[in-house]
Structure 1
Amino acid sequence: MLIFMQLKTQLYIDGKWVDGTSTIPVTDPSNESIIANVSVATDAQCALAVDAASSAFKTWPKTAPRLRGEILRKAFEIMVAEADRLAEIISKENGKVLTDAKGEILYAAEFFRWFSEEAVRINGEFRTAPSGDKRILVTKQPVGVSLLITPWNFPAAMATRKIGPALAAGCTVILKPAGETPLTAMAIVEILERAGVPAGVVNLILPVPSGPGIAKILKDPRVVNLSFTGSTEVGRVLLKEAADQVIRCSMELGGNAPFLVLADANVDDAVAGAMLAKMRNGGAACTAANRFYVAKEVAAEFTEKLTKAMGALKLAPGLETGAQLGASVSVKERNKIAQLVDDSVTNGAKINVGGKSIDGSGAFYPATVLTVSKDNPILKQEIFGPVAPIVITSSDEEAITLANATEFGLIAYVYSSDLKRAIRTAEALESGMVAINKGVISDPAAPFGGFKQSGLGREGGFAGIEEFLETKYIGVEI
């Protein structure tokens, strides 16, 4: 397609698109063909990106908040106008179906709009000290040069959710996208360039392998902030790396979301919500429902209806008309999903639908519903694919106990016809977010983040910009 011949495939440093000394291929996971070859950043180019961001930080915070907001607003408008083009890029390099890709683009654009409005609302304080001897002046200042690391599953939304608040706050950034899906990030950076972002404020690098390159950047004393979205395993490594320079960190890490269907739930509503919570993005989301705890009173009906709905999904390449479930991002990722299912079956899981890899080329795995015991090993893993394991529970208390029996605590889902019961359950769940009778609650206007080993800090909402601000107290003699 012409659209893929016109893509940016270079690094973006100090307002210029530059070649690396080598390239890596970006593939279409639905057929394993090469879409493009993108530039790889050398250590020297990563250092140049830090130089550019550090230099730009001398002037960007002094730019009027209104102007910073207007640039972000312009980027939002371009993204919405070009949503179809951007969705095709995501679908092609990520594998997700076009409807999911278009939804992601519109969601991603909203972070630019939200933080364009927050740029002019950074607050402070001015008050008299209790002793009466001074005035207490509290102001907020941008943290400084920020390293942003984003994953492959939401290549647009995870970039804008970090870039938006960073730029609104007055920070300059270095974006490192996932090697599987760099084209979307490059397209967004190009949009920011068109929207008027000054040279050096946004830089894009792609060191391969990423670990050593990122470690060197984190040792540069000019880099003072890290925002990472990815696995808890990698997050732990980055936290250790960041500790040497005492770099501020916000971490949006792994999930193992429980989906509780209580005995009084409306089963049809619960199934509809489960399809959204499980199958958005083909299950490749940290917010995806990962474990289904269903009350024994409604378990048979829920399992039957969910199995029927999952089995009816059309599995096809993401850009194919009518596709409802696309490919995983790679064959390697698909094989991880298949292994988790195989291991669960070895440990007694019953397959209700799916459960077998698709023959032929492409990283496809079918929508799968399992019935498992409460100690099946699949319940301990973040599946990141279209697999729904169901556990039958005997009480609300048992469901809550099982739901909390994990090191993760990003999001949970509760279905009940009794709001009081649902809220009581939500408050008992060890999770940073809880959806009640709703399959999707992510919103740029709401704080996104988790408890326990699902991360540190919050993105989005009023809290999102705080990750890129320092609080300064000035005492004034009177």
Structure 2
Amino acid sequence: MAQRSDEVKAVEQVDKRLMVGGRWRDASGGATFAVEDPSTGEALCEVADASREDAFAALDAAAGAQASWAARAPRERGEILRRGFEILMERQDELALLMTLEMGKPLAEARGEIAYAAEFLRWFSEEAVRVSGGYATSPDGKSRFLIMKRPVGPSMLITPWNFPMAMGTRKIGPAVAAGCTMVLKPAQQTPLCALALAGILEEAGLPEGVLSVLPTTDPGGVTEPLLRDGRIRKVSFTGSTGVGRTLLEQSSEQVLRTSMELGGNAPFLVFGDADLDAAVEGAMQAKMRNIGEACTAANRFYVHESVAAEFSRRLGERMGALSVGRGTEDGVQVGPLIDARAREKVQRLVDDAVGRGARVVVGGEAAEGPGYFYRPTVLENVSQESDMYATEIFGPVAPVSVFSTDDEALSAANDTEYGLVSYVYTSDVTRALRVSEALETGMVGLNQGIVSNPAAPFGGVKHSGLGREGGTVGIEEFLDTKYVGIGGLGTV
């Protein structure tokens, strides 16, 4: 009963209305929609359902507040983010429970995401005061170059359901630090974390007008008119490549600055000289973080023929020993997938691979009971022609194939339109550098299964996106560069 009481309290504490320009209000017309618990299939609550009218109210607020917000001292903007960081960490447990209820990941992992999310606020609180320009003499000595940085302006932020708090702070952090106002549209499946974050930033001192949050069941109807309006000057999106292409088309009309963190199809390479214990541990991290529902998740395992059988056996033992269940329960390590459609997709991909000759080492089927659970799965001898090698699995399935030569492994790894992240396990320094340079991805995990870090530039190449989030370059995505040429000074 105590657990149930905590769950009810976690949901009740969140304001379910829209935040428009820093003020809480019902959706125009009073529309709402249900938020579902993926571990039970039952509704947790109803939240306001934003419309086109609400979207333009949010845009009016963002455009109206932009000039005054940009004029605020960088230190002041940084201190707001720092206070937000502190509040997130103080409420880590209750926010983790909220995340588990609406998204499904186990509590321990949800706590980890809250800490990860908070770090983006801390990181960009420090970057806010480090935005700098430059001054230089022209090569002919006849003029001077003055380089200035200014906020790009009102920004549309669109976040996914799989990391509902961290993807919010990864975008809000640099936007606040740079001096941009924002309209945030969270995923329909997970609006509660975004609304909770908005309340925390309000408490931390974010002025009215700077942030609006618009949960909606009509994402296209809410975002497209704003992108075509002309007052939004930046769009930052994390989600599927298909939706990213659509947003790029819509953004082209007003020539908007864009950041696109899109789909992945990460290869995980294990060479014959790898530390196999470390490789299996890294595989567990790269595959099972967030139940496999991550763009950085290892999607294709290529293992050298000399260690493939042993690797598959060890990985199967580790995956098979994981506890599956509702994320709020003690000891649970694997929660549900986000919805029935996601589980059906995973099963279809597994069935296709098995039909093409793959062998199930462990798992391979949905778990019983309510909710959208799928058993952790390892497949070996997976054909390169299998659908899962061309599709982001987004589930707890590790398909293993065998390679003989380095060139064979690299060719297979790069044989995809995506290029977000790769993972490499080897003890040979020369091979490590050669392979890392040859992989066509924006990030490489070398002898490690996690690459995400607020202090590092996150992003991909090819169809995995444009721009970078985090690191020292993350704030640049929300800044314009202005050059002033100064004449009449002569030579020095």
2: CA distance between counterparts of 1:312 and 1:40? 41
What is the percentage of aligned positions where both structures have the same residue? 54
The residue identity in structure 2 corresponding to 1:464 is: G
The residue identity in structure 2 corresponding to 1:420 is: T
2: CA distance between counterparts of 1:3 and 1:247? 38
Query: Counterpart of 1:96?
Result: 105
5 Å matches for 1:340-419? 340-371=349-380, 372-419=382-429
1:337 aligns with 2:346: yes
Query: Counterpart of 1:224?
Result: 233
Q: Is residue 52–residue 221 contact of structure 2 (8 Å, CA) maintained in 1?
A: no
Alignment TM-score, normalising by the size of structure 1? 0.99
1: CA distance between counterparts of 2:189 and 2:181? 25
2: CA distance between counterparts of 1:146 and 1:2? 33
Query: Counterpart of 1:458?
Result: 468
Query: Counterpart of 1:134?
Result: 143
1:61 aligns with 2:61: no
1: CA distance between counterparts of 2:408 and 2:108? 37
1:8 aligns with 2:18: no
Question: 3-state DSSP class of the match of 2:398?
Answer: strand
1:328 aligns with 2:337: yes
Q: Is residue 454–residue 470 contact of structure 2 (8 Å, CA) maintained in 1?
A: yes
1: CA distance between counterparts of 2:272 and 2:367? 36
Query: Counterpart of 2:454?
Result: 444
2: CA distance between counterparts of 1:322 and 1:172? 42
Which segment drifts farther, 130-139 or 458-467?
A: 130-139
2: CA distance between counterparts of 1:419 and 1:282? 32
Q: Write out per-residue CA displacement over residues 20-63 of structure 1, whole angstroms, 9 at most, x where no aligned residue.
A: 12111001100111111010112111100000000110200100
The offset of 1:271, in angstroms, is 0.3
The offset of 1:334, in angstroms, is 1.3
1:308 aligns with 2:339: no
2: CA distance between counterparts of 1:231 and 1:55? 31
The offset of 1:374, in angstroms, is 2.5
Which segment drifts farther, 204-213 or 92-101?
A: 204-213
Query: Counterpart of 1:17?
Result: 24
The offset of 1:377, in angstroms, is 2.0
Query: Counterpart of 2:202?
Result: 193
Q: Is residue 109–residue 157 contact of structure 1 (8 Å, CA) maintained in 2?
A: yes
2: CA distance between counterparts of 1:416 and 1:117? 36
Query: Counterpart of 1:297?
Result: 306
Q: Is residue 124–residue 140 contact of structure 1 (8 Å, CA) maintained in 2?
A: yes
CA RMSD in angstroms comes to 0.8
The residue identity in structure 2 corresponding to 1:397 is: D
Which segment drifts farther, 37-46 or 60-69?
A: 37-46
The residue identity in structure 2 corresponding to 1:143 is: V
Q: Is residue 161–residue 459 contact of structure 1 (8 Å, CA) maintained in 2?
A: yes
Question: 3-state DSSP class of the match of 2:112?
Answer: helix
Q: Is residue 418–residue 461 contact of structure 2 (8 Å, CA) maintained in 1?
A: yes
2: CA distance between counterparts of 1:446 and 1:350? 38
What number of residue pairs does the alignment pair up? Answer: 478
1:257 aligns with 2:263: no
2: CA distance between counterparts of 1:225 and 1:304? 48
The residue identity in structure 2 corresponding to 1:46 is: A
Q: Is residue 46–residue 207 contact of structure 1 (8 Å, CA) maintained in 2?
A: no
1:155 aligns with 2:164: yes
The residue identity in structure 2 corresponding to 1:413 is: Y
1:433 aligns with 2:440: no
Q: Is residue 51–residue 218 contact of structure 2 (8 Å, CA) maintained in 1?
A: no
The offset of 1:360, in angstroms, is 2.4
The residue identity in structure 1 corresponding to 2:477 is: E
Question: 3-state DSSP class of the match of 1:216?
Answer: helix
5 Å matches for 1:23-102? 23-102=32-111
The offset of 1:81, in angstroms, is 0.7
Q: Is residue 43–residue 207 contact of structure 1 (8 Å, CA) maintained in 2?
A: no
